[in-house]
Amino acid sequence: MMKHIFTSLRPRQWTKNLVVFAGLLFSANLFHVPSLLTALAAFAVFCLLSSTVYLINDVCDIERDRVHPVKRRRPIAAGLLSPGAALTTAAVTTIAALTAAWVLGREFALVGLAYLALFLAYSLFLKNIVILDVLLIAVGFVLRAIAGAVVIGAEISNWLLVCTILLALFLGLCKRRDELMKLAGDATGHRQILDEYSPYLLDQMIAVVTASTLMAYTLYTMDEATMAKFNTPHLDLTIPFVIYGIFRYLYLIHRKEQGGNPSLTLLTDRPLLINILLWTIAVTLIIYWSRLAYYF
């Protein structure tokens, strides 16, 4: 039973909560040990909160998931974990997460509570509203980024929040497209909202979001406030990594029929994973070069 509970917590999806560290990285506090430890605790809190949402969502979607070729193997949909046990686990993770969040700070706890309330509403009814269903997923990533900044008392650039929501929209729309293409005639049986979309509509939305994401990130790196904050004009050197990452993901969507599970795709596609690691290293070196030069 514990194995099925752990599987239902979806630990592979915890990679989405790495957005919490954006505030730490872009506030130039990466090597400040107290801030790093606080951010790690915040990451753990959001892992619990997101797992709570997954458990409740799986209970709500138990019949729909049984139509899906992959999701039907989830413990709750497969009958390996009862809805009662799942909801009991969700109650425990909720209490643990909100208690830990309150210890870390009132503002952080409020952001965590807002995240939980948003996605409970999403699981119950908001996911059935066209366009809003994808937009709210993107808002969830923004709340993670805000929480990561709030918990260490750092300010986060509005540009960075814009980039976060656009990138999350890109991944969410790609996921909807993958579901629509793979499920074909059974799409609406799994997710009713898919009846409101078409491959052409999603491709148009993805094109708009792709261009907007690249433009927003480019403007962020070249903004005078950004250059003044980090005391360097070289953050724009990371733009090629962002371009390659987005184009590689589009390639996987259209040519390899991947993208239904963004977390799994990011972890299993070696070129994409290497690109993300190189982007992280490049950003760290550019922002923290003076500090690293001092130590080494």
Q: Convert the pLDDT of each residue in 32-50 to its tens digit.
A: 899 999 999 999 999 999 9
- A 10 A CB-CB count for 87 gives 14
The predicted model gives 113-136 an average pLDDT of: 91
Tokens of 63: 């019949």
**228: number of CA atoms within 13 Å, CB side?**
4
Helix/strand number for the chain, H first, E second: 14, 0
Instruction: Specify the range with the lowest mean pLDDT, choosing from 95-109, 186-200, 274-288.
Output: 186-200
What pLDDT is stored for residue 64 in this prediction? 80
> Using CA atoms, how far apart are residues 150 and 101, in angstroms rounded to an integer?
11
**201: number of CA atoms within 13 Å, CB side?**
9
> Using CA atoms, how far apart are residues 4 and 178, in angstroms rounded to an integer?
26
Residue range 1-156, CATH number: 1.10.357.140
Q: pTM of this prediction?
A: 0.89
Q: Residue 13: which of 71, 66, 62, 60 has the closest Cα?
A: 71
The predicted model gives 90-107 an average pLDDT of: 95
What pLDDT is stored for residue 106 in this prediction? 94
What pLDDT is stored for residue 191 in this prediction? 65
What pLDDT is stored for residue 112 in this prediction? 95
Tokens of 18: 């790495």
What pLDDT is stored for residue 135 in this prediction? 94
